[in-house]
Structure 1
Amino acid sequence: FFAWRFPRHIDSKIERQFQPSGSFTEVEGGSIHWYKQGSGPNLILIHGLAGSGLNFSTLTALLANDYTVYVIDRPGSGFSTRQPSISANFDVQATMILQWMDKLNIENANLVGHSMGGAIALRLALDAASRINAVSLLCPLTTPAMDPPGPLISLYIPHDGLRSLLANTFATPLRVTVGKRHVNQVFYPELVPNKFAIQGGGAYALHSTQFFNASCDIVASTRSLYKQYKRYNEITCPVGVLFGEKDKILKPSTHTPAVTELIENSISEVVANAGHMIPVTQPDACKAFIDKVNQMAQPKPI
């Protein structure tokens, strides 16, 4: 009884704390929650696993000085929805984002992808080459991994029925209990900012639907990456990879060369003594790198 009631209690608290601040656009298989800030060339931000567009809140404020920044919640994440029958595979998520771009008349854009959002940004560059000007990858997932990294291994639940059962019962009390330790691991070696839980959307990850859909995402990631990583040499737009030197979630030595050795027009840099959450902890370094990558692109009409 407790295992069933406690998730409902936590979900209700989270829903009172977090309200959608943007707009919703219906696409095939769900809806995309998004908001826009600033003016200039189009720039779309794609967040990582179990995250939301709120993870970019500090970086967005900087980028909006030079770009029209579109911050989206990925399908099934944040306030965006994904129907139960719709796959979490990256090609499907990319298609949903392209449909959203169509409905907003975004003909072309620069992309920024953090963590798993990096893999989906690369998929977009493969599937819509004429519409993607440049891709900046921040601590990205780029190539298949044998095991889910660190604290994220708890999300790897390949059986749909078990995933649903855990999401609606034991996952929430477990995540509340170990959540602080897991977040510290994700940010290591940097400190978790006090404002991250609310302003950065960190606490929203405790919602039961976020657990369920993040588990779908991580299970889909391996088969999705096997479909795309050997094709990265087909990407012609500029691509940049920026990693935190001490990232313990995704290894720079694995995920950087998967891009730079296959994509001719690519660069990579490292932020010294930084971890996995550089969009939150190193926004100035991220902004400077994104500018550099975008400047490598051939101009296209806005």
Structure 2
Amino acid sequence: MLTTLLIVICIFVGLIWFTAKMDSSIESSFRPSGKLTPVEGGIIHWQKQGNGPSLVLIHGLLGNSNNFNELAKTLAQRYTVYSVDRPGSGFSSRYKNTSASFEQQSKMLLEWMKKEGIEKASIAGHSMGGGIALRMAIDAPNVIESVSLLCPLTTPLKGGAGPLSILYIPNEFVRNSVAKTIASPLRSKLGRKQVAQIFHPEPVSISFAVEGGGLLALHSRSFYEGSRDTVSAQGSLHRQQSSYGKIQCPVGVLYGEKDTILNPNEHIEAVTSAIDSAVQKVIPDAGHMIPITQAQTCADFIIEIDSKSRQVD
């Protein structure tokens, strides 16, 4: 009995050590490349490039602003592009008692915009970032000029989100324990397979791991905060979906036809059934990571949707 207990303790300590070492390695490979803005509940990390009307890019679950490197570069020819790390993601912090709800994330991002003098902006959100973009349009109709949704999460999930389903851990103690012990070792072992599933059927970009910020998702904090995001998402979407019809700015939904993470039909319908003027498009043979794999198509779509707000002006 004592021997078994000692073995369990050794394994537990070993997992904690491995996770800490892995976190340290990731931290040494990445540094904040943008600016840090304190807001109520945390700190927002953001990057800026280009000139023109303001456009804010909001990434998805376990992502970060580097996911938009190619897309931001393309759009910077026409816009002042702000690529942000969502609260708790990338190099943005979320304080311990700060909610992970979409309402709170919207509030923090809108405060960041105000502090940085961004009076009005168009928003493009990928995956979970799409759900938060919609929340921002509901919360600040006089600030948000258009909303472009890229494979967005718009309605409560009826099933899991592929390999990301593992993040649904409602219990705080279990979530914290998993993040500090088995999450990183398992994900380092299964990481390539999981990333391939998320990109499917398109190939994973060679530059995704480092330049695209993919390795940051293996940090224990990323798992912990991603789990908080996942658990909060269901309630957040239940609360906001009935308000989509109130959104007055131009809205567009772009999906990869073969997205296996989110069901295109369900998440397109949630928007287009509530907003008659919403535009929808599907990219044949594309998957979930279209901001990376279909950057030019995404840029063209964002410009198309945003141009409608210019016509209104």
1:274 to 2:286 alignment: yes
Task: Tell me what 1:51 maps to.
Answer: 63
Task: Tell me what 1:109 maps to.
Answer: 121
Among 172, 179, 185, the alignment partner of 2:197 is 185
Q: Is the 8 A contact 1:137 1:242 kept in 2?
A: yes
Task: Tell me what 1:153 maps to.
Answer: 165
Shift of 1:148: 2.8
Amino acid paired to 1:163: R
Counterparts of 1:1-302 in structure 2, within 5 Å, are: 1-298=13-310
SS of the residue corresponding to residue 46 of structure 2 reads: strand
Q: Is the 8 A contact 1:133 1:300 kept in 2?
A: no
Flag the structure with larger Rg: 2
Shift of 1:2: 1.1
Is 57-66 or 263-272 further displaced after alignment? 263-272
Q: Distance in 2 between matches of 1:130 and 1:300?
A: 13
> Deviation per CA, 1:188-237, whole angstroms, max 9, x where unpaired?
00000111000111111000000000000000000000000111000010
Q: Distance in 1 between matches of 2:245 and 2:227?
A: 29
In the alignment, structure 2 segments of 5+ residues that lack a partner are: 1-12
Displaced runs of 4+ in structure 1, greater than 2 A?
A: 298-301
The Cα RMSD (Å) is 1.0
Amino acid paired to 2:114: D
SS of the residue corresponding to residue 207 of structure 2 reads: helix
> Deviation per CA, 1:137-178, whole angstroms, max 9, x where unpaired?
000000001333110111000000110011011111011111
TM-score, normalised to structure 1, is 0.98
Q: Distance in 1 between matches of 2:296 and 2:156?
A: 30
Amino acid paired to 2:302: I
Q: Distance in 2 between matches of 1:146 and 1:76?
A: 25
Q: Is the 8 A contact 1:144 1:222 kept in 2?
A: yes
Q: Distance in 1 between matches of 2:54 and 2:311?
A: 12
Q: Distance in 2 between matches of 1:277 and 1:48?
A: 10
Q: Distance in 1 between matches of 2:287 and 2:242?
A: 27
Shift of 1:32: 0.0
Q: Is the 8 A contact 1:237 1:265 kept in 2?
A: no
Aligned residues: 301
Q: Is the 8 A contact 1:58 1:283 kept in 2?
A: yes
Shift of 1:298: 4.2
Identity %: 50
> Deviation per CA, 1:57-109, whole angstroms, max 9, x where unpaired?
01011000000000100000000000010110000000000110110011110
Task: Tell me what 2:6 maps to.
Answer: none
Q: Distance in 1 between matches of 2:137 and 2:102?
A: 12
Shift of 1:300: 8.7
Q: Distance in 1 between matches of 2:52 and 2:160?
A: 38
Shift of 1:255: 0.2
TM-score, normalised to structure 2, is 0.95
